[in-house]
């Protein structure tokens, strides 16, 4: 009911909204809250838009944090994030819209292509792009200005800024005329120039109005005859008072006679003690001070009344005229909001075109197939922060089928091994970031890119505690992993970095192994798994759509150089001890670690030098499995089950525990 009253309609069907939807209830509650808190007209709220789940990519908060889309993980700043390096906008409106696009990339291929077409055309027309960006820099925040107009809170300066913005629109619209990209054509048609609003503001207000309306001087001279007369009278009164002071000084022979003013009794004549004997009889004493006396005269009081009335009347009339102008401009709110949306979108397109042109980005090819084929891809943030040419580009190939074979050209699951600090995390992050960039309608940092539309992007990267919620690093890791396994679909993109490192080695390997199998067999989504568990490279022997990749390393004597190049195949070593050396760990410690590593590897590798990993259960066995923790019967376990713990004294309980431990040790 509240929504219908606000939009003055009888049904919400025109907004393509089901009136029984919970979203309608939420929208009504939100509108009621805004009405209650703002206590003003909300004429700038002119439509309802339904956010449909399938129309945008979903990016959960953990993924946003891991990929540093809008805030860095270290200090929460915007600098050095994807949004920070992509924001080449010229207006606050464009900056907000860019953040919205980044937060909710599209999944509709046609809409994505229309955005890419617009950017491509502006890349090819440098002159138009530069002219648009120059004009956009002259434009104020039209969305905020219009909001203040709609709520009746705009100042004279706000309206002058609004007029200055409207004055830029004819030339800006001319830049959009005869464009080839359909989206640019649509924007040109939707751009409202509002010339009447611009003219009304310029005719009514001075070019540089004072900060507040109470200061006066807001209305342009010549706009209203009555106001001009009142102003002349107020100014003339002040001139008369100056002349009156000179006349009375000459008449009385008091050289230092002054006309002053205070709020208690208005204008007065001030005479010092040395000239009290010269005060004429027609002066009326109003105040006696230590060395001065203050007087009034009938003539001074009469003129004072005229001046003060003129000033008060002129300010009141100014307020009336300004209120009428504000009400007149408020009628343009729907058109102004539409124009603000157009300007924001033009700003984003010109900014993304500028970024793509200066940073050497390519237009991605979007497809409905679940593929990821990127040539010479670069991490968008690091590529901009590092000196030109220093970032090492890499290819990404996922989900590429071979029609002539039952084996894919590139599997949909990548297991990436290699040294720490060599670039595994950067590699998988850049793939996820380019997917998001492409679907928001941006060019991407690569020489070529063919990307399948993703319904969701998941990133489990980095480690952090949630101490306030009583969750350890490993618990947070498993919670986020569970969310991925329960929510991902075949159209999703999943990147995982070092899953399982927060627990014991064998627990970690086991979990990482099983998680990868589940993503491959059950979900069947594009997955990139960076890990230091070299045991996982054996997954490619049993998983048809999995492939091994590693970070290339150049070894020379005892020296190791990380090439940051991702190549196909499994890594031979982890080089963790070498990284420890680079970090400054004492030599005695790293040498001892090398000897321990050799012992551990000999104990836990089979005769072929491979880790001992159990065979995968068949699909039949998986169906029969009832519990993740089903164990074979054990006499010790049975004895524990039968034990009457409540009947034991603390000493007896410790004795029983010691006896059971001894039995297990013997086994």
pLDDT number for residue 470: 43
Q: Of residues 318 and 262, which shows the higher confidence score?
A: 318
HSE-up (13 A, CA, CB side) for residue 70: 15
Q: Which CATH architecture has domain 360-624?
A: 3-Layer(aba) Sandwich (3.40)
Residues 6+ apart with CB under 8 A from 252: 275, 278, 279, 280
Q: Is 570 helix (H, G, I), strand (E, B) or coil?
A: coil
Q: What is the DSSP letter of 593?
A: H
> pLDDT-derived band of residue 667, with 50, 70 and 90 as boundaries?
low
**Least trusted range by pLDDT, from 5-9, 281-285, 522-526:** 5-9
Judged against a pLDDT cut of 90, whether residue 215 lies above it is answered with no
**CATH code for the structural domain at 225-325:** 1.10.1420.10
pLDDT number for residue 562: 73
Judged against a pLDDT cut of 70, whether residue 243 lies above it is answered with yes
pLDDT number for residue 462: 65
DSSP states along 249-314: HHHHT-TT-EEEEETTTEEEEEEEGGGGGG--TT-EEEEE-SSEEEEE-HHHHHHHHHHHHHHHHH
Percent of the chain predicted with pLDDT > 70: 86
pLDDT number for residue 64: 94
Mean pLDDT is highest, among 134-138, 529-533, 600-604, for 134-138
Rounded to a whole number, what is the distance in angstroms from the first to the last CA of the chain? 75
Judged against a pLDDT cut of 90, whether residue 239 lies above it is answered with no
Report yes or no: 322 and 219 within 8 Å, Cβ to Cβ. yes
Q: Of residues 658 and 509, which shows the higher confidence score?
A: 509
d(CA 351, CA 129): 9
d(CA 296, CA 286): 7
Average pLDDT over residues 445-457: 97
**Least trusted range by pLDDT, from 50-59, 116-125, 328-337:** 50-59
Report yes or no: 109 and 368 within 8 Å, Cβ to Cβ. yes
pLDDT number for residue 558: 66
**Least trusted range by pLDDT, from 72-76, 182-186, 362-366:** 72-76
Rg (C-alpha) for the chain, rounded Å, is 38
d(CA 464, CA 406): 41
d(CA 134, CA 132): 5
**Least trusted range by pLDDT, from 302-306, 307-311, 530-534, 607-611:** 607-611
**Least trusted range by pLDDT, from 202-206, 242-246, 310-314, 646-650:** 646-650
Judged against a pLDDT cut of 90, whether residue 191 lies above it is answered with yes
d(CA 436, CA 453): 9
Mean pLDDT is highest, among 294-308, 366-380, 619-633, for 366-380
Categorise residue 441: left if φ over 0, alpha if ψ from -120 to 50, beta otherwise. left
Q: Which of 313, 310, 311, 275 is nearest to 295 (CA)?
A: 275
**Least trusted range by pLDDT, from 53-57, 217-221, 254-258, 357-361:** 53-57
Q: Is 396 helix (H, G, I), strand (E, B) or coil?
A: strand
Average pLDDT over residues 302-309: 82
> pLDDT-derived band of residue 574, with 50, 70 and 90 as boundaries?
low
pLDDT number for residue 590: 81
Q: Which of 385, 232, 251 is nearest to 313 (CA)?
A: 232
Q: What is the DSSP letter of 53?
A: G
Categorise residue 124: left if φ over 0, alpha if ψ from -120 to 50, beta otherwise. alpha
Q: Is 364 helix (H, G, I), strand (E, B) or coil?
A: coil
Judged against a pLDDT cut of 50, whether residue 468 lies above it is answered with no
CA 219 to chain centre: 40
Q: Of residues 22 and 496, which shows the higher confidence score?
A: 496
- Per-residue pLDDT of 11-37, as tens digits, reads 666 666 667 677 778 877 887 787 777
d(CA 286, CA 292): 11
CA dihedral 309, 312, 315, 320 (to 10 degrees): -90
Q: Which of 453, 375, 448, 355 is nearest to 105 (CA)?
A: 453
Average pLDDT over residues 98-127: 97
Average pLDDT value for the chain: 86
> pLDDT-derived band of residue 10, with 50, 70 and 90 as boundaries?
low
Percent of the chain predicted with pLDDT > 90: 52
d(CA 541, CA 610): 13
pLDDT number for residue 205: 97
Count other C-beta atoms under 10 Å from residue 62's C-beta: 19
**Least trusted range by pLDDT, from 158-172, 326-340, 393-407:** 393-407
pLDDT number for residue 410: 82
Whole-number Cα distances in Å, 568 to 133, 313, 411, 421, 646: 44, 84, 12, 18, 60
The phi and psi torsions of 70 (rounded to 5 degrees) equal -125, -15
pLDDT number for residue 663: 76
Judged against a pLDDT cut of 80, whether residue 575 lies above it is answered with no
pLDDT number for residue 465: 43
Average pLDDT over residues 497-512: 83
* pTM, to two decimals: 0.79
Judged against a pLDDT cut of 90, whether residue 625 lies above it is answered with no
pLDDT number for residue 626: 42
d(CA 372, CA 127): 34
Token representation of residue 52:
């449909």
Spell out the CATH class of 40-194+332-355: mainly alpha
Residues 6+ apart with CB under 8 A from 25: none
CA 584 to chain centre: 38
């Amino acid at each position: 009911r509240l929504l219908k009253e606000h939009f003055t309609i009888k049904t919400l069907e025109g907004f393509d909204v089901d009136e029984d939807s919970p979203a309608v209830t939420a929208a009504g509650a939100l509108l009621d809250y805004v009405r209650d808190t703002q206590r003003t007209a909300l004429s700038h709220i002119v439509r309802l838009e339904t956010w449909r789940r399938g129309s945008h990519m979903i990016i959960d908060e953990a993924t946003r944090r891991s990929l540093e889309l809008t805030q860095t993980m270290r200090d929460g700043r915007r600098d050095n994030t994807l949004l920070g390096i992509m924001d080449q906008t010229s207006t606050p409106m464009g900056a907000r819209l860019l953040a919205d696009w980044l937060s909710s990339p599209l999944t509709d291929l046609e809409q994505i292509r229309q955005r890419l077409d617009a950017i491509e055309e502006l890349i090819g027309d440098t002159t138009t792009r530069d002219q648009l960006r120059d004009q956009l820099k002259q434009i104020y925040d039209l969305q905020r200005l219009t909001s203040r107009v709609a709520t009746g809170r705009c100042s004279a300066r706000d309206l002058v800024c609004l007029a200055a913005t409207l004055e830029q629109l004819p030339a800006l619209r001319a830049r959009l005329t005869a464009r080839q990209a359909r989206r640019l054509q649509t924007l040109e048609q939707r751009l409202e120039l509002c010339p009447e609003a611009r003219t009304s503001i310029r005719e009514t207000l001075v070019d540089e109005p004072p900060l507040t309306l109470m200061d006066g001087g807001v209305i342009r001279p010549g706009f209203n005859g009555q106001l001009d007369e009142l102003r002349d009278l107020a100014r003339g009164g002040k001139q008369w008072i100056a002349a009156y002071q000179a006349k009375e000084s000459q008449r009385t022979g008091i050289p230092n006679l002054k006309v002053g003013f205070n709020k208690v009794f208005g204008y007065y004549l001030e005479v010092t003690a040395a000239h009290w004997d010269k005060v004429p009889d027609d002066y009326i004493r109003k105040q006696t001070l230590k060395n001065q006396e203050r007087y009034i005269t009938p003539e001074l009081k009469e003129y004072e009344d005229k001046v003060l009335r003129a000033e008060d009347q002129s300010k009141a009339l100014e307020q009336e005229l300004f209120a009428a102008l504000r009400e007149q401009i408020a009628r343009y709110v729907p058109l102004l909001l539409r124009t603000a949306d157009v300007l924001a979108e033009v700003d984003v397109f010109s900014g993304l075109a500028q970024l793509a042109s200066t940073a050497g980005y390519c237009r991605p090819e979007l497809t409905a197939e679940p593929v990821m084929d990127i040539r010479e891809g670069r991490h968008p943030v690091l590529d901009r922060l590092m000196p030109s040419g220093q970032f090492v580009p890499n290819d990404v190939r996922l989900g590429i089928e071979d029609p002539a074979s039952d084996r894919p050209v590139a599997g949909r699951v990548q297991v990436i091994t290699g040294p720490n600090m060599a670039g595994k995390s950067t590699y998988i992050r850049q793939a996820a970031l380019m997917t998001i960039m492409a679907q928001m309608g941006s060019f991407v940092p690569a020489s070529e890119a063919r990307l399948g539309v993703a319904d969701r992007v998941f990133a489990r990267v980095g480690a952090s505690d949630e101490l306030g919620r009583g969750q350890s690093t490993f618990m947070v890791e498993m919670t986020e992993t569970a969310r991925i396994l329960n929510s991902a679909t075949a159209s999703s993109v999943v990147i995982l970095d070092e899953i399982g490192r927060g627990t014991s080695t064998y627990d970690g390997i086991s979990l990482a192994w099983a998680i990868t199998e589940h993503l491959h067999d059950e979900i069947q989504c594009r997955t990139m798994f960076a890990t230091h568990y070299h045991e996982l490279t054996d997954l490619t022997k049993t998983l048809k759509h999995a492939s091994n990749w590693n970070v290339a390393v150049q070894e020379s004597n005892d020296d190791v150089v990380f090439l940051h190049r991702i190549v196909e195949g499994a890594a031979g070593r982890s080089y963790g001890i070498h990284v420890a050396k680079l970090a400054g760990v004492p030599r005695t410690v790293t040498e001892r670690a090398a000897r321990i590593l050799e012992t551990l590897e000999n104990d836990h590798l089979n005769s072929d030098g491979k880790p001992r990993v159990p065979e995968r259960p068949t699909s039949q066995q998986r169906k029969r499995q009832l519990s993740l923790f089903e164990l074979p019967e054990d006499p010790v376990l049975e004895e524990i089950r039968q034990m009457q713990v409540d009947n034991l004294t603390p000493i007896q309980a410790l004795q029983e525990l010691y006896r059971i431990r001894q039995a297990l040790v013997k086994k």
